[in-house]
Structure 1
Amino acid sequence: MTPVQTRVAELMGTVASVRVVGDPSEQQRVSEAIDGCLLELADLEHRFSTYRADSEVSRFRRGEFGLEDASPLLAEVASACEDWTHRTGGRFSAWFGGDFDPTGFVKGWATERAARRHLAPLCELPGVVAAGISVGGDVQLFRAPGQQWCWRIGIADPRRPGAVLATLELGEGAVATSGLAERGDHLVDPRNGVTATSVLSATVVADGLTRADVWATAACIAGDELGWLAEAGTIAGLLVAADGGVRRWAGTAELVPPSEEFGPSATAA
Protein backbone atom coordinates (compact mmCIF):
# COMPACT_ATOMS: atom_id res chain seq x y z
CA MET A 1 0.00 0.00 0.00
CA THR A 2 1.31 3.45 -0.93
CA PRO A 3 2.15 5.54 2.19
CA VAL A 4 0.09 8.70 2.73
CA GLN A 5 1.08 11.56 5.05
CA THR A 6 -1.80 13.66 6.36
CA ARG A 7 -1.80 16.98 8.21
CA VAL A 8 -5.04 18.55 9.47
CA ALA A 9 -5.68 22.11 10.65
CA GLU A 10 -8.67 24.31 11.43
CA LEU A 11 -8.73 27.11 8.87
CA MET A 12 -11.28 29.39 7.19
CA GLY A 13 -14.04 28.28 9.51
CA THR A 14 -13.64 24.65 8.50
CA VAL A 15 -11.09 21.83 8.36
CA ALA A 16 -8.09 21.83 6.02
CA SER A 17 -6.40 18.52 5.26
CA VAL A 18 -3.11 18.20 3.36
CA ARG A 19 -2.05 14.82 1.96
CA VAL A 20 1.21 13.77 0.40
CA VAL A 21 1.26 10.34 -1.24
CA GLY A 22 4.46 8.30 -1.55
CA ASP A 23 7.73 7.75 0.28
CA PRO A 24 9.68 10.99 -0.19
CA SER A 25 13.46 10.92 -0.05
CA GLU A 26 13.51 14.51 1.25
CA GLN A 27 11.11 14.37 4.18
CA GLN A 28 12.25 17.70 5.59
CA ARG A 29 11.24 19.50 2.40
CA VAL A 30 7.85 17.82 2.50
CA SER A 31 7.27 18.91 6.10
CA GLU A 32 8.37 22.47 5.30
CA ALA A 33 6.07 22.60 2.27
CA ILE A 34 3.06 21.48 4.29
CA ASP A 35 3.88 24.03 6.98
CA GLY A 36 4.24 26.74 4.34
CA CYS A 37 0.93 25.88 2.72
CA LEU A 38 -1.02 25.98 5.98
CA LEU A 39 0.73 29.13 7.18
CA GLU A 40 -0.07 30.93 3.94
CA LEU A 41 -3.72 29.90 4.22
CA ALA A 42 -3.82 31.20 7.79
CA ASP A 43 -2.32 34.52 6.66
CA LEU A 44 -4.81 34.86 3.80
CA GLU A 45 -7.68 33.99 6.14
CA HIS A 46 -6.60 36.76 8.48
CA ARG A 47 -6.13 39.25 5.66
CA PHE A 48 -9.52 38.63 4.03
CA SER A 49 -11.73 37.82 7.01
CA THR A 50 -14.91 39.89 7.21
CA TYR A 51 -15.31 38.87 10.88
CA ARG A 52 -12.02 40.28 12.18
CA ALA A 53 -12.03 44.01 12.78
CA ASP A 54 -8.28 44.23 12.16
CA SER A 55 -8.28 42.41 8.80
CA GLU A 56 -7.35 44.32 5.67
CA VAL A 57 -10.76 43.64 4.15
CA SER A 58 -12.57 44.99 7.24
CA ARG A 59 -10.44 48.12 7.22
CA PHE A 60 -11.14 48.60 3.51
CA ARG A 61 -14.88 48.11 4.08
CA ARG A 62 -14.78 50.82 6.77
CA GLY A 63 -13.27 53.21 4.25
CA GLU A 64 -9.90 53.55 5.97
CA PHE A 65 -8.20 53.39 2.57
CA GLY A 66 -9.05 52.92 -1.09
CA LEU A 67 -7.98 50.27 -3.55
CA GLU A 68 -5.17 52.50 -4.77
CA ASP A 69 -3.61 52.18 -1.28
CA ALA A 70 -4.45 48.52 -0.74
CA SER A 71 -1.93 45.71 -0.68
CA PRO A 72 -1.21 43.99 -4.02
CA LEU A 73 -3.10 40.91 -2.78
CA LEU A 74 -6.28 42.83 -1.95
CA ALA A 75 -6.09 44.69 -5.25
CA GLU A 76 -5.62 41.34 -7.04
CA VAL A 77 -8.66 39.83 -5.32
CA ALA A 78 -10.84 42.87 -6.00
CA SER A 79 -9.86 42.83 -9.69
CA ALA A 80 -10.44 39.07 -9.93
CA CYS A 81 -13.88 39.36 -8.32
CA GLU A 82 -14.87 42.02 -10.82
CA ASP A 83 -13.62 39.81 -13.66
CA TRP A 84 -15.58 36.80 -12.40
CA THR A 85 -18.73 38.91 -12.10
CA HIS A 86 -18.50 39.54 -15.84
CA ARG A 87 -17.54 35.95 -16.68
CA THR A 88 -20.51 34.52 -14.79
CA GLY A 89 -23.00 36.99 -16.21
CA GLY A 90 -23.52 38.54 -12.78
CA ARG A 91 -24.33 35.23 -11.07
CA PHE A 92 -21.34 35.84 -8.81
CA SER A 93 -20.60 39.18 -7.15
CA ALA A 94 -18.43 40.37 -4.28
CA TRP A 95 -20.27 43.70 -4.12
CA PHE A 96 -23.85 42.55 -3.61
CA GLY A 97 -25.49 44.64 -0.89
CA GLY A 98 -23.08 47.54 -1.26
CA ASP A 99 -20.13 46.21 0.76
CA PHE A 100 -17.13 44.41 -0.67
CA ASP A 101 -17.34 40.79 0.52
CA PRO A 102 -14.96 38.45 -1.34
CA THR A 103 -15.77 35.48 0.94
CA GLY A 104 -17.32 33.48 -1.91
CA PHE A 105 -14.11 33.84 -3.91
CA VAL A 106 -11.29 33.83 -1.39
CA LYS A 107 -11.53 30.26 -0.07
CA GLY A 108 -11.05 28.64 -3.48
CA TRP A 109 -8.52 31.22 -4.65
CA ALA A 110 -6.47 31.08 -1.45
CA THR A 111 -6.45 27.29 -1.38
CA GLU A 112 -5.35 27.03 -5.00
CA ARG A 113 -2.72 29.74 -4.54
CA ALA A 114 -1.15 28.17 -1.44
CA ALA A 115 -1.33 24.67 -2.91
CA ARG A 116 0.35 25.64 -6.18
CA ARG A 117 3.11 27.52 -4.36
CA HIS A 118 3.89 24.86 -1.76
CA LEU A 119 2.41 21.46 -2.64
CA ALA A 120 2.69 21.26 -6.43
CA PRO A 121 6.54 21.44 -6.34
CA LEU A 122 6.57 18.36 -4.11
CA CYS A 123 5.54 16.28 -7.11
CA GLU A 124 9.02 16.85 -8.53
CA LEU A 125 10.70 15.21 -5.53
CA PRO A 126 11.86 11.57 -5.74
CA GLY A 127 9.39 9.27 -4.07
CA VAL A 128 6.39 11.64 -4.17
CA VAL A 129 3.44 10.23 -6.11
CA ALA A 130 0.84 12.96 -5.50
CA ALA A 131 -0.05 15.87 -3.22
CA GLY A 132 -3.28 17.67 -2.49
CA ILE A 133 -5.35 19.69 -0.09
CA SER A 134 -8.99 19.69 0.96
CA VAL A 135 -10.57 22.73 2.61
CA GLY A 136 -14.12 22.16 3.70
CA GLY A 137 -14.46 19.37 1.13
CA ASP A 138 -13.21 21.44 -1.81
CA VAL A 139 -9.96 20.04 -3.18
CA GLN A 140 -6.91 21.03 -5.21
CA LEU A 141 -4.93 18.00 -6.38
CA PHE A 142 -1.57 17.34 -8.05
CA ARG A 143 0.12 14.22 -9.39
CA ALA A 144 3.77 13.54 -10.18
CA PRO A 145 4.65 13.20 -13.90
CA GLY A 146 4.32 9.64 -15.17
CA GLN A 147 2.34 8.41 -12.17
CA GLN A 148 -0.99 6.60 -12.53
CA TRP A 149 -2.31 7.60 -9.10
CA CYS A 150 -5.97 8.69 -8.97
CA TRP A 151 -7.63 10.52 -6.12
CA ARG A 152 -11.08 9.18 -5.15
CA ILE A 153 -13.52 11.94 -4.23
CA GLY A 154 -16.97 11.30 -2.84
CA ILE A 155 -19.72 13.74 -3.80
CA ALA A 156 -22.21 14.15 -0.97
CA ASP A 157 -25.90 13.60 -1.62
CA PRO A 158 -27.65 16.77 -0.40
CA ARG A 159 -30.92 14.85 -0.06
CA ARG A 160 -29.49 12.27 2.35
CA PRO A 161 -27.06 13.50 5.02
CA GLY A 162 -24.03 11.24 5.23
CA ALA A 163 -24.72 9.51 1.92
CA VAL A 164 -22.55 9.67 -1.20
CA LEU A 165 -24.24 10.44 -4.50
CA ALA A 166 -21.28 9.68 -6.75
CA THR A 167 -17.57 8.91 -6.60
CA LEU A 168 -15.11 10.72 -8.83
CA GLU A 169 -11.62 9.52 -9.75
CA LEU A 170 -9.28 12.36 -10.69
CA GLY A 171 -5.56 12.36 -11.37
CA GLU A 172 -5.11 16.11 -10.86
CA GLY A 173 -7.25 19.21 -10.88
CA ALA A 174 -9.86 20.64 -8.53
CA VAL A 175 -13.37 19.90 -7.29
CA ALA A 176 -15.72 22.31 -5.52
CA THR A 177 -19.28 21.94 -4.27
CA SER A 178 -21.71 24.69 -3.39
CA GLY A 179 -25.32 24.47 -2.26
CA LEU A 180 -27.87 24.46 0.51
CA ALA A 181 -27.06 21.20 2.30
CA GLU A 182 -24.50 22.58 4.77
CA ARG A 183 -25.52 26.20 5.33
CA GLY A 184 -29.16 26.37 4.29
CA ASP A 185 -30.61 29.20 2.22
CA HIS A 186 -27.48 31.39 2.09
CA LEU A 187 -27.13 31.87 -1.67
CA VAL A 188 -28.63 35.03 -3.13
CA ASP A 189 -28.82 35.90 -6.82
CA PRO A 190 -26.85 39.18 -7.07
CA ARG A 191 -28.86 40.15 -10.14
CA ASN A 192 -32.19 40.44 -8.32
CA GLY A 193 -31.62 39.83 -4.60
CA VAL A 194 -33.74 36.67 -4.61
CA THR A 195 -32.60 33.68 -2.53
CA ALA A 196 -31.60 30.79 -4.79
CA THR A 197 -33.40 27.60 -3.76
CA SER A 198 -33.91 25.65 -7.00
CA VAL A 199 -30.57 23.79 -6.70
CA LEU A 200 -29.60 21.75 -3.65
CA SER A 201 -25.97 21.40 -4.68
CA ALA A 202 -23.64 21.88 -7.62
CA THR A 203 -20.26 20.16 -7.93
CA VAL A 204 -17.76 21.42 -10.50
CA VAL A 205 -14.50 19.87 -11.70
CA ALA A 206 -11.90 22.22 -13.19
CA ASP A 207 -8.14 22.62 -13.56
CA GLY A 208 -8.02 24.99 -10.61
CA LEU A 209 -10.07 25.49 -7.46
CA THR A 210 -10.63 29.19 -8.12
CA ARG A 211 -12.60 28.39 -11.27
CA ALA A 212 -14.32 25.35 -9.78
CA ASP A 213 -15.48 27.24 -6.68
CA VAL A 214 -16.81 30.29 -8.50
CA TRP A 215 -18.71 28.21 -11.05
CA ALA A 216 -20.13 25.91 -8.37
CA THR A 217 -21.70 28.98 -6.77
CA ALA A 218 -22.80 30.39 -10.13
CA ALA A 219 -24.37 27.04 -11.06
CA CYS A 220 -26.53 27.14 -7.93
CA ILE A 221 -27.64 30.65 -8.83
CA ALA A 222 -28.32 29.69 -12.47
CA GLY A 223 -30.68 26.93 -11.36
CA ASP A 224 -31.91 24.51 -13.97
CA GLU A 225 -30.27 26.43 -16.82
CA LEU A 226 -26.95 25.13 -18.18
CA GLY A 227 -26.37 27.67 -20.94
CA TRP A 228 -23.35 28.97 -19.02
CA LEU A 229 -21.37 25.77 -19.74
CA ALA A 230 -20.13 27.07 -23.08
CA GLU A 231 -18.25 29.90 -21.34
CA ALA A 232 -17.24 28.22 -18.09
CA GLY A 233 -14.19 26.21 -19.13
CA THR A 234 -14.98 23.49 -16.61
CA ILE A 235 -14.07 19.82 -17.03
CA ALA A 236 -17.22 18.19 -15.66
CA GLY A 237 -19.92 18.62 -13.07
CA LEU A 238 -23.05 17.43 -11.35
CA LEU A 239 -26.11 19.36 -10.23
CA VAL A 240 -28.88 18.22 -7.87
CA ALA A 241 -32.12 20.16 -8.25
CA ALA A 242 -34.57 20.82 -5.44
CA ASP A 243 -37.00 18.34 -6.99
CA GLY A 244 -34.36 15.59 -6.74
CA GLY A 245 -33.38 15.61 -10.40
CA VAL A 246 -29.70 15.12 -11.19
CA ARG A 247 -27.92 16.63 -14.20
CA ARG A 248 -24.36 15.82 -15.26
CA TRP A 249 -22.04 17.35 -17.82
CA ALA A 250 -18.59 16.88 -19.32
CA GLY A 251 -16.94 19.85 -20.98
CA THR A 252 -19.73 21.81 -22.65
CA ALA A 253 -22.05 18.83 -23.17
CA GLU A 254 -24.73 17.62 -20.81
CA LEU A 255 -24.68 13.86 -20.21
CA VAL A 256 -28.25 12.66 -20.63
CA PRO A 257 -29.24 9.09 -19.66
CA PRO A 258 -30.74 7.04 -22.51
CA SER A 259 -34.48 7.52 -22.68
CA GLU A 260 -36.90 4.64 -22.46
CA GLU A 261 -38.06 5.49 -25.95
CA PHE A 262 -34.75 4.49 -27.51
CA GLY A 263 -33.67 1.87 -24.97
CA PRO A 264 -30.54 1.70 -22.82
CA SER A 265 -28.21 0.72 -25.63
CA ALA A 266 -29.12 3.43 -28.10
CA THR A 267 -26.24 5.56 -29.40
CA ALA A 268 -26.01 8.72 -31.44
CA ALA A 269 -25.62 8.26 -35.19
Structure 2
Amino acid sequence: MTRLPAVTVVEPVMGTVVTVQVRGRATDDAAVREQVDAAMAAVVARMRDDERVFSTYRPDSDVSLLRDGLRGLDDVDPRVREVEALCRRLRDDTGGVFDAWWRGWFDPTGVVKGWSVDAASAALAEVLTVPGVEAAAVNAGGDMRLLRAPGSDHVWNVGVADPEDASAVLATISLPEGAVATSGTAERGAHLIDPRSERPVGGLVSATVVADTLTVADVWATVAAVTGIDDLDAVRAAPVASGIVWSDGRVRRWASGVEVDRFRDPVAASARAGEPQEEHRPAR
Protein backbone atom coordinates (compact mmCIF):
# COMPACT_ATOMS: atom_id res chain seq x y z
CA MET A 1 0.00 0.00 0.00
CA THR A 2 1.36 3.41 -0.94
CA ARG A 3 1.66 5.71 2.02
CA LEU A 4 -0.32 8.91 1.52
CA PRO A 5 1.15 12.36 2.22
CA ALA A 6 0.51 13.25 5.85
CA VAL A 7 0.55 16.16 8.25
CA THR A 8 1.70 15.14 11.72
CA VAL A 9 1.80 16.89 15.08
CA VAL A 10 3.53 15.36 18.13
CA GLU A 11 2.91 16.84 21.58
CA PRO A 12 3.36 15.76 25.23
CA VAL A 13 -0.05 15.39 26.86
CA MET A 14 -1.32 13.41 29.86
CA GLY A 15 2.10 12.09 30.74
CA THR A 16 2.59 10.52 27.34
CA VAL A 17 3.24 11.49 23.72
CA VAL A 18 0.22 12.24 21.56
CA THR A 19 0.54 12.09 17.78
CA VAL A 20 -2.20 13.56 15.59
CA GLN A 21 -2.05 12.77 11.89
CA VAL A 22 -4.14 13.63 8.82
CA ARG A 23 -3.48 11.79 5.56
CA GLY A 24 -4.38 12.59 1.98
CA ARG A 25 -3.02 14.33 -1.09
CA ALA A 26 -5.13 17.38 -0.31
CA THR A 27 -2.81 18.13 2.61
CA ASP A 28 -0.38 19.64 0.07
CA ASP A 29 -2.89 22.44 -0.60
CA ALA A 30 -2.17 25.58 1.47
CA ALA A 31 -5.81 26.31 2.32
CA VAL A 32 -6.47 22.72 3.32
CA ARG A 33 -3.25 22.63 5.32
CA GLU A 34 -4.42 25.64 7.34
CA GLN A 35 -7.68 23.86 8.16
CA VAL A 36 -5.84 20.65 9.03
CA ASP A 37 -3.41 22.49 11.31
CA ALA A 38 -6.30 24.15 13.15
CA ALA A 39 -8.11 20.83 13.63
CA MET A 40 -5.02 19.06 14.95
CA ALA A 41 -4.32 21.94 17.32
CA ALA A 42 -7.90 21.64 18.59
CA VAL A 43 -7.35 17.94 19.35
CA VAL A 44 -4.28 18.70 21.45
CA ALA A 45 -5.97 21.66 23.16
CA ARG A 46 -8.97 19.55 24.17
CA MET A 47 -6.76 16.81 25.60
CA ARG A 48 -4.70 19.33 27.55
CA ASP A 49 -7.85 20.84 28.99
CA ASP A 50 -9.04 17.37 29.98
CA GLU A 51 -5.66 16.88 31.66
CA ARG A 52 -6.21 20.11 33.60
CA VAL A 53 -9.50 18.72 34.90
CA PHE A 54 -8.55 15.08 35.52
CA SER A 55 -4.87 15.00 36.45
CA THR A 56 -4.24 13.29 39.79
CA TYR A 57 -0.82 14.96 39.95
CA ARG A 58 -2.06 18.55 39.85
CA PRO A 59 -3.32 19.65 43.27
CA ASP A 60 -5.65 22.19 41.64
CA SER A 61 -7.32 19.77 39.19
CA ASP A 62 -11.01 19.07 39.67
CA VAL A 63 -10.33 15.41 40.43
CA SER A 64 -7.71 16.33 43.06
CA LEU A 65 -10.06 18.85 44.68
CA LEU A 66 -12.76 16.16 44.77
CA ARG A 67 -10.31 13.63 46.23
CA ASP A 68 -9.18 16.05 48.93
CA GLY A 69 -12.74 16.89 49.96
CA LEU A 70 -12.42 20.52 48.83
CA ARG A 71 -15.17 20.18 46.23
CA GLY A 72 -18.25 18.03 45.76
CA LEU A 73 -19.29 16.27 42.57
CA ASP A 74 -21.82 19.03 41.87
CA ASP A 75 -19.12 21.70 42.25
CA VAL A 76 -16.53 20.43 39.74
CA ASP A 77 -16.36 20.52 35.96
CA PRO A 78 -19.35 18.66 34.40
CA ARG A 79 -16.91 16.37 32.61
CA VAL A 80 -16.03 14.82 35.95
CA ARG A 81 -19.62 13.78 36.57
CA GLU A 82 -19.78 12.32 33.05
CA VAL A 83 -16.64 10.24 33.58
CA GLU A 84 -17.69 9.29 37.11
CA ALA A 85 -20.93 7.83 35.74
CA LEU A 86 -18.94 6.02 33.03
CA CYS A 87 -16.63 4.52 35.65
CA ARG A 88 -19.58 3.24 37.67
CA ARG A 89 -20.95 1.46 34.60
CA LEU A 90 -17.55 0.00 33.77
CA ARG A 91 -17.07 -1.27 37.32
CA ASP A 92 -20.33 -3.18 36.98
CA ASP A 93 -19.64 -4.35 33.42
CA THR A 94 -16.18 -5.69 34.29
CA GLY A 95 -17.17 -7.33 37.57
CA GLY A 96 -14.88 -5.00 39.49
CA VAL A 97 -11.76 -5.68 37.41
CA PHE A 98 -11.91 -2.02 36.46
CA ASP A 99 -12.56 0.02 39.59
CA ALA A 100 -11.82 3.74 39.74
CA TRP A 101 -12.37 3.69 43.53
CA TRP A 102 -10.06 0.83 44.50
CA ARG A 103 -7.67 3.20 46.29
CA GLY A 104 -10.47 4.64 48.37
CA TRP A 105 -10.98 7.73 46.26
CA PHE A 106 -12.09 8.48 42.70
CA ASP A 107 -9.19 8.01 40.26
CA PRO A 108 -10.36 7.74 36.62
CA THR A 109 -6.82 7.48 35.23
CA GLY A 110 -7.52 4.07 33.69
CA VAL A 111 -10.25 5.39 31.41
CA VAL A 112 -9.79 9.12 30.98
CA LYS A 113 -7.06 9.02 28.33
CA GLY A 114 -9.14 6.92 25.93
CA TRP A 115 -12.24 8.96 26.73
CA SER A 116 -10.35 12.18 26.06
CA VAL A 117 -8.97 10.93 22.73
CA ASP A 118 -12.49 9.98 21.62
CA ALA A 119 -13.84 13.40 22.56
CA ALA A 120 -10.92 15.29 21.03
CA SER A 121 -11.10 13.32 17.78
CA ALA A 122 -14.40 15.04 17.01
CA ALA A 123 -12.33 18.09 16.02
CA LEU A 124 -11.14 16.14 12.96
CA ALA A 125 -14.64 15.43 11.62
CA GLU A 126 -14.88 18.50 9.39
CA VAL A 127 -11.41 17.97 7.94
CA LEU A 128 -12.40 14.45 6.89
CA THR A 129 -15.12 15.91 4.63
CA VAL A 130 -12.56 17.90 2.61
CA PRO A 131 -12.05 16.32 -0.85
CA GLY A 132 -8.67 14.63 -1.02
CA VAL A 133 -8.37 14.01 2.73
CA GLU A 134 -8.43 10.24 3.26
CA ALA A 135 -7.92 9.49 6.94
CA ALA A 136 -6.88 10.76 10.35
CA ALA A 137 -5.64 9.29 13.60
CA VAL A 138 -4.86 10.17 17.20
CA ASN A 139 -2.16 8.04 18.82
CA ALA A 140 -1.83 8.48 22.58
CA GLY A 141 1.16 6.56 23.85
CA GLY A 142 0.52 3.70 21.42
CA ASP A 143 -3.27 3.54 21.82
CA MET A 144 -5.00 4.69 18.67
CA ARG A 145 -8.27 6.18 17.50
CA LEU A 146 -8.40 5.69 13.73
CA LEU A 147 -10.71 7.64 11.43
CA ARG A 148 -11.50 7.43 7.73
CA ALA A 149 -13.11 9.95 5.38
CA PRO A 150 -16.51 9.08 3.88
CA GLY A 151 -15.97 7.13 0.66
CA SER A 152 -12.25 6.57 1.34
CA ASP A 153 -10.77 3.11 0.92
CA HIS A 154 -7.85 3.82 3.25
CA VAL A 155 -6.99 1.00 5.67
CA TRP A 156 -4.74 1.36 8.70
CA ASN A 157 -2.28 -1.50 9.29
CA VAL A 158 -1.44 -1.56 12.98
CA GLY A 159 1.50 -3.62 14.16
CA VAL A 160 1.30 -5.11 17.66
CA ALA A 161 4.74 -5.34 19.24
CA ASP A 162 6.01 -8.68 20.52
CA PRO A 163 6.30 -8.35 24.34
CA GLU A 164 9.54 -10.36 24.33
CA ASP A 165 11.15 -8.52 21.42
CA ALA A 166 10.31 -4.85 20.84
CA SER A 167 11.78 -5.04 17.33
CA ALA A 168 9.40 -7.85 16.31
CA VAL A 169 5.70 -7.82 15.41
CA LEU A 170 3.36 -10.20 17.20
CA ALA A 171 0.47 -9.51 14.83
CA THR A 172 -0.81 -7.00 12.29
CA ILE A 173 -4.33 -5.60 12.51
CA SER A 174 -5.93 -4.12 9.39
CA LEU A 175 -8.60 -1.62 10.38
CA PRO A 176 -10.48 0.96 8.27
CA GLU A 177 -11.56 2.88 11.38
CA GLY A 178 -12.09 2.30 15.07
CA ALA A 179 -9.70 1.99 17.99
CA VAL A 180 -6.82 -0.22 19.11
CA ALA A 181 -5.45 -0.30 22.66
CA THR A 182 -2.80 -2.41 24.36
CA SER A 183 -2.22 -2.96 28.06
CA GLY A 184 0.61 -4.99 29.53
CA THR A 185 3.77 -5.20 31.56
CA ALA A 186 6.35 -5.19 28.76
CA GLU A 187 7.02 -1.45 28.86
CA ARG A 188 6.56 -0.50 32.52
CA GLY A 189 6.84 -3.74 34.45
CA ALA A 190 4.41 -4.84 37.18
CA HIS A 191 2.38 -1.63 37.34
CA LEU A 192 -1.03 -3.17 36.56
CA ILE A 193 -3.08 -3.72 39.73
CA ASP A 194 -5.99 -6.13 40.11
CA PRO A 195 -8.46 -4.03 42.17
CA ARG A 196 -10.08 -7.18 43.55
CA SER A 197 -6.90 -8.32 45.32
CA GLU A 198 -5.02 -4.98 45.25
CA ARG A 199 -2.00 -6.93 43.99
CA PRO A 200 0.11 -6.22 40.89
CA VAL A 201 -0.17 -8.45 37.84
CA GLY A 202 2.94 -10.63 37.74
CA GLY A 203 4.92 -11.88 34.78
CA LEU A 204 5.05 -10.67 31.21
CA VAL A 205 1.64 -10.12 29.64
CA SER A 206 0.23 -8.13 26.73
CA ALA A 207 -3.41 -7.65 25.74
CA THR A 208 -4.57 -5.79 22.63
CA VAL A 209 -8.24 -5.02 21.99
CA VAL A 210 -10.03 -3.57 18.94
CA ALA A 211 -13.28 -1.66 19.46
CA ASP A 212 -15.31 1.17 18.00
CA THR A 213 -13.99 3.68 20.53
CA LEU A 214 -10.75 4.03 22.44
CA THR A 215 -12.69 4.36 25.69
CA VAL A 216 -13.92 0.79 25.26
CA ALA A 217 -10.72 -0.64 23.78
CA ASP A 218 -8.53 0.87 26.51
CA VAL A 219 -10.57 -0.40 29.45
CA TRP A 220 -11.09 -3.89 28.09
CA ALA A 221 -7.43 -4.29 27.12
CA THR A 222 -6.60 -3.58 30.75
CA VAL A 223 -9.24 -6.05 31.91
CA ALA A 224 -7.80 -8.75 29.61
CA ALA A 225 -4.28 -8.13 30.91
CA VAL A 226 -5.42 -8.24 34.53
CA THR A 227 -7.63 -11.33 34.30
CA GLY A 228 -4.99 -13.17 32.27
CA ILE A 229 -4.85 -15.48 29.31
CA ASP A 230 -6.81 -18.29 30.98
CA ASP A 231 -9.80 -16.14 31.98
CA LEU A 232 -11.07 -14.25 28.94
CA ASP A 233 -14.81 -14.99 29.13
CA ALA A 234 -15.76 -11.49 30.26
CA VAL A 235 -13.68 -9.80 27.56
CA ARG A 236 -14.98 -11.98 24.75
CA ALA A 237 -18.52 -11.06 25.80
CA ALA A 238 -17.66 -7.34 25.99
CA PRO A 239 -18.61 -4.77 23.31
CA VAL A 240 -15.30 -5.24 21.48
CA ALA A 241 -14.60 -6.45 17.95
CA SER A 242 -11.54 -8.60 18.56
CA GLY A 243 -8.53 -9.10 20.77
CA ILE A 244 -5.14 -10.72 21.18
CA VAL A 245 -3.67 -11.76 24.54
CA TRP A 246 -0.08 -12.93 24.97
CA SER A 247 1.41 -14.49 28.10
CA ASP A 248 4.38 -16.80 28.66
CA GLY A 249 4.77 -17.46 24.94
CA ARG A 250 1.10 -18.36 24.52
CA VAL A 251 -1.35 -16.44 22.37
CA ARG A 252 -5.13 -16.37 22.35
CA ARG A 253 -7.11 -14.45 19.78
CA TRP A 254 -10.85 -13.91 19.31
CA ALA A 255 -13.17 -12.01 16.98
CA SER A 256 -16.84 -11.20 17.63
CA GLY A 257 -16.65 -13.26 20.80
CA VAL A 258 -15.44 -16.41 19.03
CA GLU A 259 -12.01 -17.90 19.68
CA VAL A 260 -9.93 -17.80 16.50
CA ASP A 261 -6.89 -19.77 17.59
CA ARG A 262 -5.78 -20.76 21.07
CA PHE A 263 -2.26 -20.81 22.49
CA ARG A 264 -0.61 -20.25 19.13
CA ASP A 265 0.28 -17.12 17.18
CA PRO A 266 -2.56 -16.78 14.64
CA VAL A 267 -0.80 -14.22 12.49
CA ALA A 268 2.31 -14.89 10.45
CA ALA A 269 3.91 -11.46 10.53
CA SER A 270 6.22 -12.38 7.70
CA ALA A 271 3.23 -12.69 5.38
CA ARG A 272 2.75 -8.95 5.75
CA ALA A 273 6.39 -8.00 5.33
CA GLY A 274 6.78 -4.77 3.49
CA GLU A 275 3.39 -3.32 4.43
CA PRO A 276 3.56 0.04 6.25
CA GLN A 277 2.48 -0.27 9.87
CA GLU A 278 1.61 2.16 12.60
CA GLU A 279 3.77 1.81 15.71
CA HIS A 280 1.72 0.26 18.49
CA ARG A 281 3.20 -0.75 21.82
CA PRO A 282 1.87 -1.39 25.30
CA ALA A 283 1.41 2.05 26.80
CA ARG A 284 0.71 1.25 30.46
Residue matched to 2:89: 83
Q: What is the TM-score normalised by the length of structure 2?
A: 0.86
- Give me the whole-angstrom Cα distance separating, in 2, the residues matched to 1:193 and 1:62: 22
Displacement after TM superposition at 1:176 (Å):
0.2
1:208 maps to 2:208: no
Alignment partner for residue 139 of structure 1, among 134, 141, 144? 144
Per-residue CA deviations over 1:42-89 (Å, capped at 9, x if unaligned) read 111121111111111111110001112222101111111111111111
Does structure 2 conserve the Cα–Cα contact (< 8 Å) formed by 1:199 and 1:239?
Answer: no
Aligned length: 257
Kindly, what percent of the aligned residue pairs are identical?
47
SS of corresponding position for 2:100? coil
Query: Is the deviation greater in 98-107 or in 203-212?
Result: 98-107
In structure 1, stretches of 5+ residues that fail to align are 260-269
Coordinate RMSD, CA, aligned: 1.7
Partner amino acid, structure 2, of 1:123: L
Q: How does 1:105-144 map to 2 (within 5 A)?
A: 105-115=111-121, 117-144=122-149
The answer to whether the aligner puts 1:52 opposite 2:58 as a matched pair is yes
Residues 199-257 of structure 1, C-alpha deviations (whole Å, 9 max, x = no match): 6110000000000000000111111211113531111110011x210111111001126
User: Residue in 1 aligned with 2:277?
Assistant: none
1:23 and 2:25 matched: yes
Q: What does residue 61 of structure 1 align with? A: 67
Contact 1:229 1:251 in 2 (8 A): no
* Letter in structure 1 aligned against 2:73: L
Counterparts in 2 of 1:225 and 1:214: CA distance versus 1, 3 Å: same
Task: Give the Å deviation of 1:166.
Answer: 1.3
Measure, in 1, the Cα distance between the counterparts of 2:78 and 2:52.
15
Q: Indicate how the Cα distance of structure 1 residues 233 and 198 shifts in structure 2: closer, same or farther if over 3 A, else same.
A: farther
Q: 1:199 to 1:220 in 2, by over 3 A?
A: farther
Cross-structure match for 2:158: 153
Counterpart selection for 2:7 from 5, 8, 21 = 5
Tell me whether 1:102 sits opposite 2:108 in the alignment.
yes
**Residues 237, 250 of structure 1: 8 Å contact kept:** yes
Partner SS state of residue 158, structure 2: strand
Quick check: 1:199–1:220 contact (8 Å CA) kept in 2?
no
Deviations 1:170-199 (A, max 9, x none): 110000000101111111111122222266
What is the alpha-carbon distance in structure 1 between the residues aligned to residue 85 and residue 237 of structure 2? 19
SS of the aligned residue for 2:165 comes to coil
- Looking at structure 2, the residues matched to 218 and 53 of structure 1 have their Cα atoms a distance apart, in angstroms, of 29
Identify if the C-alpha distance between structure 1 residues 258 and 204 changes in structure 2 by more than 3 Å, giving closer, same or farther. Answer: closer
1:73 aligns to 2:75 (yes or no): no
